Structure 1
Amino acid sequence: MKQKDKSHRITYLNFDNSLKEQTFLQYYPHHWICCSNIPHTNGFCETESLNEIRKRLQVKQVSPLVLIGNGNFHYVTYLLLERVKGPFSLILFDHHDDMKKDDFSLISCGSWVRYALERNANLNKVVIIGVNEENQTCDLPNELHKRVLTITEQKIKDIHLQDIVHELRQFLPEEKNIYISIDKDVLYKREAYTNWDQGSMTLVQLLFLLENIVRHFQVVGMDICGEYVVNHQNEFERATWEYVKMNEIVNRALLKFVEEYISPPEESLLA
């Protein structure tokens, strides 16, 4: 395999060993950040644990492209967004909007988008693509609601993908810089397999939308999550290793897309 451009060196976060099962990923220039020994991080994350993750991301100089692992740790995107230096918007591919209001002010995989909208001064707007109508949050304050565009799973089925790109560009007419976050639960379960209920988007549809997005915006960072975790309960099941391989194939396609279509900005926009 040819040597990849160093600008596309990847950060792999190890919370759950899910990425270590995908041997192909080791061929890409990468570095690991171990987070598996940080307590109280699975699904919900306590403040002290979140601060420890933030510290490790800073010390290890996380790359613009990050693979997070299982979707239970998607809230790490909140920390990755903190690194963007100037104004930007987030484009999220997810079967859930991740804008729930959690009790006790804990951040979670279901609330991190709301956290970012409320706390990140550089984050202008959020576009969420592929959300199941049943998973939409209904209690958003109006000042947050007007900063969010939700393109539902059903809408993707009903209209042309190019019309979705047009709607997205109309919502972000002045935006130059975007951050992309992908949870593979947006995909049909015969293309990727996660531990959450999944959507019906195909990989081809995802790549089509991504290709059109990067034509019009500067991508300042990107992350991917939604891996399937192997554990002592499922490691001897044949389906388990099929799921791992499916997710690896999707990751390979996404990394190939980054390699071909996303060029790093001339001046880094990440702290």
Structure 2
Amino acid sequence: MDSKERPSINVIDALRANHNDLQEFVDSLTGDEWQMASACEGWRVQDVFAHVTSNLKQFADPDPPGDEQDQLSAEEAMEALVSPRKDWSPDELIEEYYKYLEPALNVFSNLIEEPTASVEQQLSDLGTYQLRWLPYAFCFDHYCHLRHDMTSPGGPIERDLPSADDLRLAPGIEWMLAGLPQMCSKDLTSLKKPVLLSLTGPGGGKWVLHNSGENELIQIDNYSEQEVSASITSTSHDFVSWATHRSSWEDYCSLDGDLEYVSSLIGSINII
């Protein structure tokens, strides 16, 4: 389905669906599984969950800002939240998650309503975004960590999860596309000719990456039969993996058109 034709998705409903999947998974974990190495380098399954719950807590009940907080990269800030939780028990992490889930969802519900929705905020080195994008980022976070970092084939644990659908996946894809220009433009300076990104399956659609205005940031537009020099095709689910460098694009993408050109660009897509 083209992204323009997809029925409107309530991002709070999407967050709840991804939460329900995570809850079912967490409730099934054994003591040994909590300690398994995840697909996030240096983090156990327990640490990945600590990352998710610490972020929820920060939105529901933020810690006082530290002296060096503004100087941390996004990844350094994530580690700073996980580090003090490494000695927590799984039960303590689960307790924190449920304590702050509903308060965080209430915050997110307010962020998608004007006038707050259009307020811009700097997110470390990830760029500046309207506040309405934050619940989309959390959809991405829940989906990515559960389905690519903790469960197989990328993660260590085999589980049958509910099938990915537009509700679970589309908001995360929207966040990735919103973030791509600010996170990747510095490495995509050679994007001189438009490239079609075609994502298939749930959450899919067609978009054109270009910099026709030779701006500091590249642009991403819905595809409307524009002329392109090359195309990248993968499933939306796999895009979450290769576009975050959890896996190689070569394993999941088919390229068409100017292959030398698009091959030189695709590795520079790295969304955090």
Q: Report the TM range for the smaller structure's normalisation.
A: under 0.3
For the pair shown, the structure with the greater C-alpha radius of gyration is 2
- Which protein has greater RCO, CA pairs closer than 8 Å, 6+ apart? 1
* Higher share of residues assigned strand: 1
When the two structures are superposed, what TM-score results if normalisation uses the length of structure 1? 0.24
Higher helix share: 2
